[in-house]
Chain A
């Protein structure tokens, strides 16, 4: 087993990376479909059906990345899993109830009698909102080191709002790509409104993070590390500028470039996430437990890794397949 040096060093690193990738894929993929749910009240009934149709074939698989991320935390860093989830007991419960309401609303709103449809539409919106807000809240608490103080909760409420707006932004860019005509024009307006939430959110976390931890502060503002980090804020600023100028001119003739806002939003998430991962490494519970301290036994991690090497590319493969099958503008979802 000792082919690549000490497995107690590289295995935790590999699993932290895998977990990071799962979380990143999750916040992009479920991010856009949660965002579509958050935007629900701004749409009329026909538009609501269109919006659901645009995410119907995908949302379930998108959500599975959350299960994988938490599963990897659970299997690779069991003590951190317990510490993080017990500290976040209430927001986790709110998120779970949100996910439940939202997940079943997809099915019920289409199958229940017409008068009940409104109820399930509301459940879909409420579930999406609860999920987004509680995830943002958890993100804020995590950045603040999972301590329940008044100031931290205040910060977490802020990140809850920003993440929700951020999700609705990427959701809006998804709708721009998957729809046309009036709904598309509406989505352009939503995206223009949402981009500011994203900018403020990334800004708030970027400002707060180094001041919570002197370790992170040193990591950011010392030479030459600051140089390695500098592409992130610069590229992010360029991306925001590009997205803004594009959204102002949308839609283009013959629906050209309709996929680009979504691509830009995705790139922005990647930047933000890269910055966070860079700051918090090697901790899995900020300033308390490192990935090396929390890691499971190497023999167990090795068993999972073998499977992961085979299974993960397969999953990626058929996920792409499903996006290819359901490519193009959203149409009415039919079982036949």
Chain B
């Protein structure tokens, strides 16, 4: 019974966080993109930048609402499903979460109202400032939550007194060893997700005939941004991997599918890890490359998974297959992003015709990759989070220790309810994005949030 509760609680948390992370992944970067559009408009006075702003601010509002509501769910689940977590490390997690709420949530929530509906009510500079504050607040929110998450991976700056963590050094807690890598990696992931989303939706609008100036500038900005950022992301990802190898070698061993500690380890491209036999089947690898990437020495020693089995047979490394595969999905998606964004940028630059020069197959490829950022982010998230198991806080507490003693059927009931709601909302979200794209391409006004119905002619409402 207890085990079922643990498994179901883990699935429920995984479902919640997977759903939640999709939307901050968009809003973190989209806030700054909107600020960019707004600043371009302020400087040039060209209506096309405002057109791009007006379209994407709607996607922002929608994504923001989805992120807020699923984020509230997360904050409650600490208490409903994982009370052990706060009881043991609450002295550290608490202040970090409190700072997130106080410095980020209110800032975003209040200025979002002004950003969305205040354009005609406040001076232009206040509206620009509100856009900045929303972008800044979203970034702050990401910062605090990643500080906490990173601390759970690489905890430091605390001491244990009677089984409860007490902070001893806040700067060590905040600037924990994996935080800079994780934060940079996540922010870049957000910018790439947004770049491909804007490029994809703009390509869609372009294909169905909505070839306005606003679509043109948005698409070009997005493609060029993606091309510039993807190599940076690959580099940062590599540094992040080296950092993980230092602090969480079991995770890296699972990512690589490497069972035995040895030198000159090959980079495995494909394999089916077999947990029972503790070996890989159908392994295809490049000799010595993993050693070179991880140690920068062709014959460097890399720790294997068998090092993380205790003498009495307890397995202290994560399950291999999900980590191994999600890592490959992330890297594969990243390489595809590199290919598509570079060839699209090359086409735009070479023919000097801007986005007019993009051939149809390339536009279709961009549409197809609209949500590639989500795929890569989720895969990366699974790699790092499943890779942490069985630890919840590395070396401090296991996931099992934190779970609430709630009856399994109750967890199952709420899990099913969440899954139904999430599936419905995700469908609606993607549908509405493309619906708005079609609608603007037909030249219809989507400037109104509350569209008056035909019956409500101004005369019928003397109150106005």
Contact = CB atoms under 8 A, between A and B. Distances in A.
Contact of A300 (B84, B95, B418): B95
B159 to A, nearest CB: 11
A331 B118 CA distance: 12
Nearest to B431: A112
Nearest to B455: A46
B414 A326 contact: no
A179 to B, nearest CB: 7
Interface in B412-460: 413-414, 417-418, 421, 425, 428, 431-432, 435-436, 446-453, 455-456, 460
B92 A49 contact: no
A320 to B, nearest CB: 10
B445 to A, nearest CB: 10
Interface in B97-122: 97-99, 101-103, 105-107, 109-114, 116-122
Nearest to A316: B106
A60 B62 contact: no
Contact of B113 (A92, A179, A300, A326): A326
Nearest to B63: A107
B98 A335 contact: no
Q: Is the interface of B mostly helix, strand, loop or mixed?
A: helix
Contacts of B425: 100, 104
Contact of A329 (B58, B90, B406, B463): B463
B78 interface: yes
Q: Which of B62, B76, B451, B452 has the most CB of A within 10 A?
A: B76
Interface string B68-93: 11101101101110011011001111
Interface in A308-336: 308, 311-312, 315, 318-319, 321-322, 325-326, 329, 331-336
A111 B429 CA distance: 10
A5 interface: no
B267 interface: no
A64 B359 CA distance: 47
A283 interface: no
B106 A64 contact: yes
A284 to B, nearest CB: 13
A321 B160 CA distance: 44
Given A96-B73, A315-B102, A332-B448, A297 B91 contact: yes
Given A49-B450, A86-B404, A325-B114, A107 B61 contact: yes
Given A75-B97, A90-B414, A57 B432 contact: no
Given A97-B421, A300-B91, A331-B464, A315 B114 contact: no
Given A106-B65, A300-B94, A331-B464, A97 B102 contact: no
Interface string A70-104: 11101110110111111011101100110111111
Contacts of A335: 54, 57-58, 116-117, 119, 447-449
Interface residues of B, number: 84
A334 B68 contact: no
Q: Which of A63, A76, A86, A179 has the most CB of B within 10 A?
A: A86
B462 interface: yes
Nearest to B435: A113
A181 interface: yes
A96 B76 contact: yes
Nearest to B170: A303
12 contacts: A46-B460, A46-B461, A60-B112, A75-B95, A75-B97, A75-B98, A85-B83, A104-B65, A110-B451, A181-B462, A315-B106, A325-B114
Interface of A: 45-46, 49, 52-53, 56-58, 60-61, 63-64, 66-68, 70-72, 74-76, 78-79, 81-86, 88-90, 92-93, 96-97, 99-104, 106-108, 110-114, 179-184, 296-297, 299-300, 303-304, 307-308, 311-312, 315, 318-319, 321-322, 325-326, 329, 331-336
A-B pairs, top 6 by smallest CB distance, nearest first, are A82-B83, A75-B94, A85-B79, A57-B113, A78-B90, A103-B69
